[in-house]
Amino acid sequence: MRPLSIPGAWLHTPTVHPDTRGTLHEAYRAEVFSRATGSSFGLAQANVSVSRRGVLRGIHYAEVPPGQAKYVTCLRGAILDVAVDLRTGSPSYGRCEAVRLDAANRRALYLAEGLGHAFLALEEDTTVMYLCSEGYAPEREHGVHPLDPQLAIDWPSDIPLLMSDKDAAAPTLREADRAGTLPSHAACLAYADVSAEKDC
* Closest-CA residue to 115 (of 179, 55, 72, 165): 72
175: helix, strand or coil: helix
Burial 151-162 (b: 16+ CB within 10 A, else e): bebebeeeeeeb
> What sign has the CA pseudo-torsion 135, 58, 189, 101?
positive
Instruction: Respond yes or no: is residue 130 known to be catalytic.
Output: yes
Helices (H), 26-124: 30-37
Q: Which of 61, 71, 110, 130 is catalytic?
A: 130
Instruction: Respond yes or no: is residue 60 known to be catalytic.
Output: yes
Active site residues: 60, 130
